[in-house]
Amino acid sequence: MILRLSESANLNAHSTGLTPSMALKFIVDDYRSSNLFAATSFKESDSWNFFENDMSNQLAPLDPKEDEIMINTFQKKLIEG
């Protein structure tokens, strides 16, 4: 298994905390590898402690009115992919 811990957001002088995430890759002989991804949220936390908040692979949805820019950015990146 390969474990990757990472910061999901680009930190800057105005960041209030981390947006931690992790990925697990399970490598199996003679079979396609499996992946598992987990994060705390789509939004930045108010903590600099990477392990303070629980991670999950089912995140709370973004609010279409409050998070319109973030939703548009995600959609643009998915289309580019």
Span 40-65, pLDDT tens digits: 999 999 999 999 999 999 999 999 99
Nearest CA to 36 among 26, 47, 48?
A: 26
pLDDT computed for residue 71 by the predictor: 93
Q: Report the candidate in 39, 30, 31, 28 with the shortest Cα–Cα distance to residue 2.
A: 28
Enter the pTM of the model.
0.75
